[in-house]
């Protein structure tokens, strides 16, 4: 049975969160400011990582469920080449943006202690939670319901 992971403690940042500016595998730019008014889940993952693979269907469901007012951005880490990542993403039917993790990309976020690692930003653009380990759709939706209003 799949374990239900909940977000760890609130982010230990005082003030506003670090903004990000990344380019996905299709060449589209994504900034935190682009998503003002939406929840944003940034997920660091790898193709070889079993917990990462386990959470992908839930991340797809979260991204596709417009009631959540949430967008998912996946950041692929520890890959041999970009074709490996895009081929894997296509085989898993990932429809959310995939960014190739580089030092420049990862420097825009707090530390990544393991894979998967996820950061959640609220609709005001503040980083409010993070999680090391697999997430479930239910855990993310519960967090959003308890800590902010959902768009129905």
Per-residue pLDDT band for 149 (boundaries 50, 70, 90) equals low
Cα distance between residue 13 and residue 100, in whole Å: 25
Question: Which of 41-55, 91-105, 138-152 bottoms out in mean pLDDT, i.e. has the lowest?
Answer: 138-152
Per-residue pLDDT band for 6 (boundaries 50, 70, 90) equals very low
Cα distance between residue 6 and residue 96, in whole Å: 22
Global pTM reads 0.87
Task: Please give the residue that has the higher pLDDT: either 2 or 82.
Answer: 82
Percentage of the chain surpassing pLDDT 90? 78
pLDDT for position 27 = 97
pLDDT for position 151 = 41
pLDDT for position 7 = 45
* C-alpha dihedral sign at 27, 30, 35, 40: positive
Q: In sequence order, what DSSP letters do the residues of the chain get, joined into one string?
A: --------SBP--SSSPPP-EEEBTTS-EEEGGGGTTSEEEEEEE-TT-HHHHHHHHHHHHHHH-GGG-EEEEEEE-S-S-HHHHHHHHHHTT--S-EEE--HHHHTTSS---SSSEEEEE-TTS-EEEEEES---HHHHHHHHHHHSPPP-
Task: Identify the CA nearest to 58 among candidates 150, 141, 147.
Answer: 141
Cα distance between residue 122 and residue 143, in whole Å: 11
pLDDT, tens digit, 9 for 90 and up, residues 42-73: 999 999 999 999 999 999 999 999 888 999 99
Domain boundary assignment for the chain:
38-125+135-147
Per-residue pLDDT band for 152 (boundaries 50, 70, 90) equals very low
Domain 38-125+135-147: homologous superfamily in CATH: Glutaredoxin (3.40.30.10)
């Amino acid at each position: 049975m799949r374990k239900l992971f909940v977000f760890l403690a609130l982010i230990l940042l005082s003030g506003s969160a670090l903004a990000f500016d990344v380019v996905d595998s299709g060449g589209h730019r994504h900034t935190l400011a682009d998503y003002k008014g939406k929840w944003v889940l940034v997920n660091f993952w790898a193709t070889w990582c079993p917990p990462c693979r386990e959470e992908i269907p839930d991340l797809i469901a979260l991204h596709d469920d417009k009631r959540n007012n949430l967008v998912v951005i996946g950041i692929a880490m520890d890959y041999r080449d970009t074709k490996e990542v895009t081929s894997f993403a296509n085989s898993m039917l990932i429809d959310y943006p995939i960014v190739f993790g580089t030092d420049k990309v990862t420097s825009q976020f707090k530390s990544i202690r393991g894979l998967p690692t996820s950061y959640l930003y609220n609709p005001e653009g503040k980083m409010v939670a993070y999680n090391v380990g697999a997430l479930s759709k239910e855990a993310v939706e519960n967090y959003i319901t308890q800590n902010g209003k959902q768009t129905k």
